[in-house]
Amino acid sequence: MVTIQIDGRAMQAPTGTTILKAADQAGIVIPRFCYHPAFEPEGSCRMCLVEIEDLPKLDLACSTVVREGMKVWTSTPKVLQARKDVLEFLLADHPLDCPICDKAGECFLQDYYDKHGRYASRFLEAKEKKKKKIPIGKKLLLDRERCVLCTRCVRFLRGVTGTGELGVFKRGVKAEIGIDEGVEIRNNYSGNLVDICPVGAITDGDFRFKTRVWFLEKKRTVCPRCSRGCNIIVQSVRNYPLSGRQRRIYRIVPAENQDVNGYWICDFGRFGYHDIEDNRLTAIAVNREGPAEGRLPSWEDILKGLAAEIRALVDAGRASSLAVILNSSLTNEELAACRKLFADALGVRSIFFADPKPGEADGYLLTADRTPNGGGAAALGFSPELPDLEKLAGAADLLIIFGPHLLEHYPAEKLADSLKGIRRKYLLAAHRSGLDALADIVLPTAHPAEKKGSFRNVKGTVQSFECAVRAPRGCLPEGEILSRLASELGVKLE
């Protein structure tokens, strides 16, 4: 450790730490464009200039390493004038399209101009005109007029994905970010380019012109689309008038967690918000005679009826004719409730799992396992296996299915024939599928982003999360359904 001073505050920093990192750790903000903690210092934007005692000129905070006794000043008149000069150069050719830019509200250039600029323009010449809507692949659009050549995008594609699709073309005032003819950015992490661009030069066609960032409520949760358990921020509009065709969720972006996903998320998880919103089940459906037949069913009616059916089987000594099919997208708390209710209290032995089919891993963050809590199921003593349809049809009288994934493993006709012989079938799912028509009663549940709990990821790390967005009216988390069902059956769940 070395002892230094920044703005008169004494502090210690590890040997080899840069001034910028030391300032960040002390809560002292030094502006930057090209610097990103995931990359080696570039030192090209010159925005992080600071004054170091006994040195004749300003130096870069992002690449200058601390040394014992160093005294650094981040807000002297000389430093502030340098920042203003850098901003004047950057804004000389920058378009004045903040009112229509998707980055407005979270743009470094806006923030720094407000804090360090506020000068009267001296630029009289016409601004340099460049292409403003260049498709560079996979929903990404490049606006060269907004670009400040920080090269974050170039370094990300070289250092993180290793694909290197973008580069700096030409020289001097003609320099620009570009892509070779016939090449597109098609890697699994291309959406991160939008996040790391500090000025809105790269925008997401999926989010473009949809809403403004100051309308978005941001809540942290865990991505449920594979077993990595990446930390994400779900950004939704709440308490703001929306038409029937507008979305609740507009964006998913990464939340930093160096032990799990670092600074990034894959595109599979990023655009997963479509799966939260689309094709949702929002009302109880009764497809055959049963509880609340002939009138609009309520959750109370349905759960009382289900409890009565379960109690009748157990009292008759026929608990073996009750079967349950779970899935590894249930939280640890919900799986524990299933074990205590069905296995321990009711003596059910026919407990199976139906998870999404494995996908293709990419060797970085995305895993082949497309469920978030397979590790949690194993830790709770479950042996996830698919049901044998013939045995299930011959033994089960009452079947409770969590999730729609059975159809991924069995042909629809075979599944329909097998389930036909089971007297009563309940389906608990968040989304519509072909399984809806095969169940007698369909109960709408919450998506993982709409509930709280914990998952155990592929490395065995247990991560707790809170509700990121409210579930649609009429949908309940499986944990609440299990709790209410247990209460009807006289079983106490922790």
Task: Report which of 248, 407, 425, 421 is spatially closest to residue 323, judged by C-alpha positions.
Answer: 425
Cα 24 to its chain centre, rounded Å, is 25
d(CA 405, CA 409): 7
Place of tokens 């300032």: 23
Residues 234-263: tens digit of each pLDDT:
999 876 666 665 678 999 999 999 999 999
Whether residue 450 sits in one domain with residue 334: yes
Q: How many domains does the chain have?
A: 4
Q: Please tell me the distance from the alpha carbon of residue 382 to that of residue 373, in angstroms, as a whole number.
A: 12
Same domain, 365 and 452: yes
Only one residue has tokens 């709770």, namely 380
How many residues does the structure list for the chain? 494
* CATH code, domain carrying 199: 3.30.70.20
- The pLDDT assigned to 293 comes to 47
Q: What is the CATH number of the domain that holds 268?
A: 2.20.25
What one-letter code names the amino acid at 50? V
Q: Are residues 416 and 480 in the same domain?
A: yes
Please say whether the beta carbons of 132 and 201 come within 8 A: no
CATH (domain of 367): 3.40.50.740
The residue among 277, 306, 331 that closes a domain is 277
Residue 148 has pLDDT above 70, yes or no: yes
**What pLDDT is recorded for position 459?**
97
- For residue 57, tell me if it sits in a domain: yes
Query: Which of 241, 257, 277 is the last residue before a domain boundary?
Result: 277
303 DSSP assignment: H
Residue 82 lies in a domain: no
In a domain, 494, yes or no: no
Beta strand 462-465 with 453-456 is antiparallel
Domain enclosing residue 16, as ranges: 2-75
Q: Can you give 50-91 as a three-state secondary structure string?
A: EEECCCCCCEECCCCECCCCCEEECCCHHHHHHHHHHHHHHH
| Dihedral of the alpha carbons of 218, 221, 222, 225, in degrees to the nearest 10 | -60
Number of alpha carbons in the 13 Å side-chain half-sphere of residue 174: 3
Question: Do 170 and 296 belong together in one domain?
Answer: no
**Residue after which a domain boundary falls, among 162, 181, 204:** 204
Question: Does 402 share its domain with 459?
Answer: yes
CA 271 to chain centre: 8
Express each pLDDT in 60-110 by its tens digit.
Answer: 999 999 999 999 999 999 999 999 999 999 998 899 899 999 999 999 999
Banded pLDDT at 289 (limits 50, 70, 90): low
Indicate whether 108 and 187 sit together in one domain.
Answer: yes
Contacts of 112 (CB under 8 A, 6+ apart): 31, 47, 83, 87
pLDDT for 398-417, tens place per residue? 999 999 999 999 999 999 99
Q: Indicate whether 183 and 224 sit together in one domain.
A: no
CATH of the domain at 21: 3.10.20.740
Helix spans in 117-213 (H): 152-159, 192-196
> Does residue 363 lie in a domain region?
yes
388 compared with 288, residue with greater pLDDT? 388
pLDDT, one tens digit per residue, over 151-179 is 999 999 999 999 999 999 999 888 999 99
Residue 303's nearest CA partner among 485, 473, 482 is 485
The closest alpha carbon to 310, from 62, 487, 475, belongs to 487
Q: What is the pLDDT of residue 274?
A: 87
Within a domain: 158? yes
Rounded-to-integer distance, Cα 220 and Cα 254, Å: 9
Percent of the chain with pLDDT over 90: 85
DSSP string, 346-390: T---EEEE--PPP----SSS--S---S-HHHHHHTT-------HH
Tell me what the pLDDT averaged over the chain comes to.
93
Each residue's pLDDT tens digit, 362-374: 999 999 999 999 9
Non-local (6+) Cβ contacts of 248 within 8 A are 236, 237, 238, 242, 277, 469
Residues 414 and 480 occupy one common structural domain: yes
Residue 270 domain-assigned (yes or no): yes
Q: What is the mean pLDDT of residues 355-359?
A: 96
Long-range (24+ apart) CB contacts under 8 A made by 261-265 are 261/228, 261/229, 261/230, 261/231, 261/365, 262/38, 263/36, 263/37, 263/38, 263/192, 264/160, 264/189, 264/192, 264/365, 265/189, 265/191, 265/192, 265/223, 265/230, 265/232, 265/365
Q: Compute φ and ψ for 347, nearest 5 degrees.
A: 75, 25
Residue 81 lies in a domain: no
What's the whole-number mean pLDDT along residues 431-449? 95
**114-121 long-range Cβ contacts below 8 angstroms, 24+ apart:** 115/31, 116/31, 116/80, 116/83, 116/84, 116/87, 117/84, 117/87, 117/88, 117/91, 119/84, 119/87, 119/88, 121/91
In a domain, residue 84? The reply is: no
pLDDT score for 242? 62
Token pair of 158 as six digits: 């070289």
Q: Is there a single domain that holds both residue 336 and residue 380?
A: yes
Q: With a cut of 80, say whether residue 17 has pLDDT above it.
A: yes
State residue 294's pLDDT score. Answer: 46
- 143 shares its domain with 173: yes
pLDDT surpasses 50 at 292: no
Q: How far apart are CA 467 and CA 396, in angstroms?
A: 35
Q: Are residues 230 and 293 in the same domain?
A: no
The whole-number average pLDDT for the span 128-140 is 92
**289/228 same-domain check:** no
Tokens of 70: 């160093």
> Are 286 and 293 in contact, with CB atoms under 8 Å apart?
yes
